[in-house]
Every structure is written in structure tokens, then in C-alpha cells.
């Protein structure tokens, strides 16, 4: 289970302090980007805090959380049950490397803070999997720290990158251009980039 989830436990629900901090800035942007109806797949939903917050803020959408970690799947289910939400589906077990994904289509795929704490093939699996379930115009939304043109955007991100690579040499803050180039080869357009708090970026990739 990821280290950042150990920040707290409420009943059977995992609590991530960083998710609590960033859920509203992300929700504000997603409200501008997402359509007015349809199913949104969240990949690597973590504790479940994001899924329930987004569902509350955008009740006109159906949210499909997913995870590969069993402890997180239990936490997501508990968050959804405790909030009494009817526009959130039961969480799916999803490993981005597996094919086919256990969902046939979505209007958007949302993935927060995953690709830097996973090997690069996981980022490739995310992009290629999203390309298979999104129709033209559908969007892939990524959030987290990125390098730009091979350079870190802040000293804190550089320190974070070193910490990640110490934990696992296959992890690390990804170069935005590498992600964009791989996405382009799988039918996505030029990324739309939004500056976010704490030196993070929102990267929006639309299926062509």
C-alpha cells in the first residue's frame, strides 16, 4: 500500500492528507473540462476521497473508481457507502497493464498522482488503455508533478524526484514531452496544460 495513505485511518477508510488538500482545486478544473453527462473512469483512485468529492461536486456524471490495491478498493467502497452517493459505481479492480480493461467505454479517464510512483510501462499502459475506451473527443486527465523539456519546474519537485528514485529506480517525475509524444502515437492531440497548486500540473489529452 502506498506510503502516502498511511497518514490516517477513519474506520475502514484510508485518509490521504494530500488528497484532502488538492481535491477541490482539481474538482474546480474538472467542472470546466468534463461533459454534462456520461461515465468518468478514475484510474488509481487511492483512498476514495477524490471519487466521492468529485461525485458530490458533479452529480450529473457517473463516477467509476478503480484500483489494483485491495486495501484501497475496500477504502473506496467505504467512502462511497458512508457518503450515501448514488452516482458512484462499485470500485473496479483495474491494473493498467492488463487487457482488456474491465470497462468498455467512458467519456473521460481521470488519473491523479500515479505515473510518477509507477514504472514507465504503467504510464504507457494508462495511455494505451484510455485510447481503447475513449471515443473521439473523450479526454484523458492527468494530475501531478512533471518535468518540462527535461527540467524540473521547482526545487521541491526535484527533491521529490530524488526521493522517489531512491525508493524505486523505476519511479520518478515524468517528462511532460515524453508523455505527450507517447499519447500522440495513440491518437491523442496536443496536451492542454494547467498550472495547479504545489507545483503540480493538470495535463488534458483529448482523443482525436
Mean pLDDT for the chain overall: 95
Ranges of beta strands (E only) in the chain are 8-10, 13-15, 39-43, 62-67, 92-93, 106-112, 134-144, 146-148, 151-152, 174-175, 192-196, 200-206
Which pLDDT does position 3 carry in this prediction?
41
Domains of the chain, CATH where assigned? 3-206 (3.40.50.150)
Which pLDDT does position 8 carry in this prediction?
56
- Predicted confidence band at 2 (pLDDT cuts at 50, 70, 90)? very low
pLDDT in tens, 44-62: 999 999 999 999 999 999 9
pLDDT in tens, 129-148: 999 999 999 999 999 999 99
Q: How far apart are CA 78 and CA 66, in angstroms?
A: 14
Q: Kindly write down the DSSP assignment for every residue of 128-182, as one continuous string.
A: HHHHHHEEEEEEEEEEE-EEETTEESSHHHHHHHHHHHHH-TT--PEEHHHHHHH
pTM, two decimal places: 0.95
Q: Are strands 146-148 and 174-175 parallel, antiparallel or unpaired?
A: parallel
Measured at the CA of 51, the angle between CA 57 and CA 55, to 5 degrees, comes to 30
Q: What percent of the chain has pLDDT over 90?
A: 94
* Contact of 160 with 3, CB cutoff 8 Å: no
Q: How far apart are CA 55 and CA 142, in angstroms?
A: 18
Please, is 50 exposed, middle or buried when counting C-beta atoms within 10 Å of its C-beta (0-12, 13-18, 19+)? buried
Amino acid at each position: 500500500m502506498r506510503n502516502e495513505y498511511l497518514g490516517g485511518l477513519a474506520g475502514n477508510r484510508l485518509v490521504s492528507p494530500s488528497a484532502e488538500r488538492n481535491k477541490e482545486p482539481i474538482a474546480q478544473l474538472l467542472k470546466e473540462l468534463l461533459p454534462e453527462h456520461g461515465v468518468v473512469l478514475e484510474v488509481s483512485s487511492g483512498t476514495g476521497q477524490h471519487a466521492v468529492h468529485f461525485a458530490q461536486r458533479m452529480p450529473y456524471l457517473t463516477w467509476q473508481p478503480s484500483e489494483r490495491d485491495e486495501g484501497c478498493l475496500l477504502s473506496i467502497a467505504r467512502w462511497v457507502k458512508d457518503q450515501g452517493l448514488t452516482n458512484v459505481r462499485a470500485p473496479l479492480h483495474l491494473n493498467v497493464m492488463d487487457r482488456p480493461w474491465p470497462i468498455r467505454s467512458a467519456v473521460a479517464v481521470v488519473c491523479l498522482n500515479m505515473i510518477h510512483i509507477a514504472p514507465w510501462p504503467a504510464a504507457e499502459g494508462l495511455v494505451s488503455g484510455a485510447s481503447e475506451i475513449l471515443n473521439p473527443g473523450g479526454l484523458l486527465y492527468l494530475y501531478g508533478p512533471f518535468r518540462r523539456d527535461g527540467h524540473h519546474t521547482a526545487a521541491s519537485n526535484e527533491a521529490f524526484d530524488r526521493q522517489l528514485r531512491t525508493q524505486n529506480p523505476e519511479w520518478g517525475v515524468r517528462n511532460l514531452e515524453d508523455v505527450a509524444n507517447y499519447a500522440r502515437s495513440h491518437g491523442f492531440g496536443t496536451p492542454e496544460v494547467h498550472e495547479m497548486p504545489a507545483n503540480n500540473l493538470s495535463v488534458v489529452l483529448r482523443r482525436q
